[in-house]
Amino acid sequence: MAEPAAILAMTGITKEFPGVKALSDVDFRLFPGEVHALMGENGAGKSTLIKALTGVYDIDGGEILLEGEAVRFTGPLQAQQAGVSTVYQEINLCPNLSVAENIFIGREPRRLGAIQWKKIHRRATELLRRLRLDIDASALLGTYSIAVQQMVAIARAIDISAKVLIFDEPTSSLDAKECEQLFRVMRQLKDEGIAILFVTHFLDQVYEVTDRVTVLRNGRLVGERLTAELAQIDLVAMMIGKELEVLEQLDEQPKSSPAALQDASPVVAASELGRDGAVAPFNLAIHRGEVVGLAGLLGSGRTEVARLLFGADRADHGQIRVDGTTVAVRNPRTAMAHGIAFCSENRRTEGLVEDLTVRENIILALQAERGWSRPIPRRRQEELVDKYIKALRITPANPDMVVRNLSGGNQQKVLLARWLITEPRLLILDEPTRGIDVGAKAEIQRLVVSLADGGMAVLFISAELEEVLRLSHKIAVLRDRHLVTEMPNDGVDVEHVMRIIASGAAV
């Protein structure tokens, strides 16, 4: 690739938080018309580097050149006006406003103080056409899927003559088809000469869309390479900083042992369980030591199934049996009393209490089970928390850190730890590896297998079919809020499941 002048050059960027050096002396450059992957383990400093660029954080040292001029933005708004836009992982748009309004909110074209609605609508329509999206600009945003909403966020970002577009883990909540759509748009923008910075933990996506890779480790720059010249194994080695033995471990499939120890009666069985408008009545049985995978597209009812089993939503029909006896699961409390745990996919809204510390977040569910009057002794808390900080490699390994200040992947691990310490009989994991780096992901997968070997029943939900197939003994497929089929996982391949998802019938 011939090297034109870099549109963005960051040199010697340093950022320190109390007790944590998040970035030390990091260089990063970005060329027009390229997709550049920023890689690294959880907590490596990727999000911090982006926030340093867009002015969310004041940096402690270093220089940022945008088109050759030194800049120091005071915040994302100013960065956006200068042509540096960010699309965050969590979509921060308003579902109850129209698509057009969402694109222009906060910077509506005005004349004499009055908002020019016609103009907004026309420009929104133009933008959507430019991205080749078939969306009605006047429809409410909330009526579209997450993926489409993400596209609207992109439209919003590129509207202001963007030169640099930043995606911080945009794909972690998208399924394969939606990722394709996103990549198509990315390639198109790249062809228009926009420079794109892309953070992801999916290696195959890196090879699919990016031209160049920069790797960070522990807040330091490891190196910058052209994607085409970097073997996947070398990329992983750069990220985790270890050589072969670890890599071999990663490759070793944590294939679960056949569920030999299945009891005759399931631990938890749902019969005709359903909730109007959420998921049609379904039957599902999960045995001791069994991992059941739920496959299906986003919005197919995967999460709804989990929420019903956990009592997070009330069922309108059917019943749940635990060890053969029908029980009333009215709310999460009663579900927990029957040994059911549910690790939600929305860690920020439904999972963590961000103002509390790592320790408090981890012991929260266990403490709730015991009730307020029986506090877990401090010593015991520390033992439990230390154990899981080590087991899941939560960094920084500081139990008194406020969870808000952890990196995204580490927050996810804290949530997982919360449920593991309750030692449930049925563990429901909804997207447990979302936003988790390659190393930790393999570790979590191994953990699931060993939990099942130890007799725990696991319901495993993931948008990544490979992961579901690798871990599950049994697979249930959802489509349009119906559980269409359930099958043992004896050599089922991805295509086969995809076909069921697409056709809605067991092939």
Residue ranges in contact with ligand ATP by CB under 6 A: 17, 20, 22, 40, 42-48, 395-396, 405-410, 437
User: 40 contacts which partner out of another protein, Mg ion, ligand ATP, none, CB within 5 to 8 A by kind?
Assistant: ligand ATP
Nearest to 412, CA basis, from 343, 321, 324: 343
Taking alpha carbons only, the member of 62, 75, 78, 71 closest to residue 28 is: 62
Q: Tell me how far apart the alpha carbons of residues 450 and 448 are, in angstroms, rounded to a whole number.
A: 6
When the beta carbons of 59 and 186 are compared against another protein, the nearer one is 59
What is the C-alpha separation between 396 and 414, in angstroms, rounded? 12
Tell me the window of 151-159, 186-194, 237-245, 351-359 that interacts with another protein (CB under 8 A): 351-359
d(CA 233, CA 120): 48
**Does 48 sit near another protein (CB under 8 A)?**
no
Q: Of 437, 443, 442, 444, which Cα lies nearest the Cα of 206?
A: 437
Binding mask 381-420 for another protein (x = CB under 8 A): ---------------xxx-xx----------------x--
CB nearer ligand ATP, residue 274 or residue 409:
409
Does 370 bind another protein (CB under 8 A)? Our answer is yes
Residue 375 interacting with another protein (CB under 8 A): yes
Q: Please report whether residue 377 would count as binding another protein according to CB under 8 A.
A: no
Residue 367 Cβ vs ligand ATP, minimum distance, rounded to whole Å? 24
Strands 291-295 and 474-479, by their bridges, are parallel
Handedness of CA 431, 436, 439, 444 (dihedral sign): negative
Strands of the sheet containing 325-327, edge to edge, are 279-286, 268-275, 317-322, 325-327
Can you tell me the distance from the alpha carbon of 444 to that of 423, in angstroms, rounded to the nearest whole number? Answer: 16
**Is the link from the previous residue into 170 a cis peptide, with omega within 30 of 0?**
no
To Mg ion, the closest distance from the beta carbon of 382 in angstroms equals 27
Pairing state between β 164-168 and 84-87: parallel
Q: CB-wise, 192 or 355, nearer to another protein?
A: 355
The site map against another protein for 318-337 (x = CB under 8 A) is -------------xxx-xx-
* Rounded-to-10 torsion of CA 240, 241, 244, 245: -70
Among residues 46 and 441, whose Cβ is nearest to ligand ATP?
A: 46
With binding defined as CB under 5 A, does residue 47 bind Mg ion?
A: yes
Q: Which is nearer to another protein, 152 or 365 (CB)?
A: 365
Write the single-letter amino acid at 305: V
Strand partners, 483: 478
Q: Are 430 and 382 in contact (CB under 8 A)?
A: no
* Contacted entry of ligand ATP, Mg ion, another protein, none for residue 351, CB cut-off 5 to 8 Å set by kind: another protein
Q: Which of 70, 114, 260, 507 binds another protein (CB under 8 A)?
A: 70
Binds another protein by CB under 8 A, chosen from 4, 72, 139, 226:
72
Angle between helices 146-159 and 117-130 (to 10 degrees): 110
The residue within the footprint of another protein, chosen from 56, 160, 233, 376 (CB under 8 A), is 376
Q: Candidates 351, 408, 424, 432: give the one binding Mg ion (CB under 5 A).
A: 408
Q: Does 56 bind another protein (CB under 8 A)?
A: no
For Mg ion, the binding residues (CB under 5 A) are: 47, 408
For another protein, the binding residues (CB under 8 A) are: 18-20, 55, 58, 69-74, 78-79, 82, 310, 312, 331-333, 335-336, 342, 344, 349-356, 360, 364-365, 367-376, 396-398, 400-401, 418
